Amino acid sequence: MSEAVYTVTGMSCGHCESAVSKEITAIPGVTSVTAVAKTGLLTIASEQPLDDDAVRAAVDEAGYALVGRA
């Protein structure tokens, strides 16, 4: 099991959190996602370490910007 925390910009509400979570959940191996608009933190648990490029692409698809690992 692996966990990574990222910083995301542009999230401002529960809808934003849901949009990001939905895209991240689609990444193979992801077991849980917690997006918090207030802090901009995105916590992802997965079966194996995630590829940062896959996380960035998913966040971009949701319409937000991945700053990097927190």
CATH number of the domain residue 49 falls in: 3.30.70.100
DSSP category for residue 27: S
How far is it, in rounded angstroms, from Cα 60 to Cα 54? Answer: 10
CA triplet 21, 66, 4: central angle to 5 degrees? Answer: 65
**What confidence tens digit (pLDDT) does each residue in 14-48 have?**
999 999 999 999 999 999 999 999 999 999 999 99
List the strands of the sheet with 2-9, edge to edge.
Answer: 30-36, 41-46, 2-9, 65-69
Output the pTM of the full model: 0.95
Q: How many domains does the chain have?
A: 1
pLDDT score of 23: 98
Residue 48, domain extent: 2-69
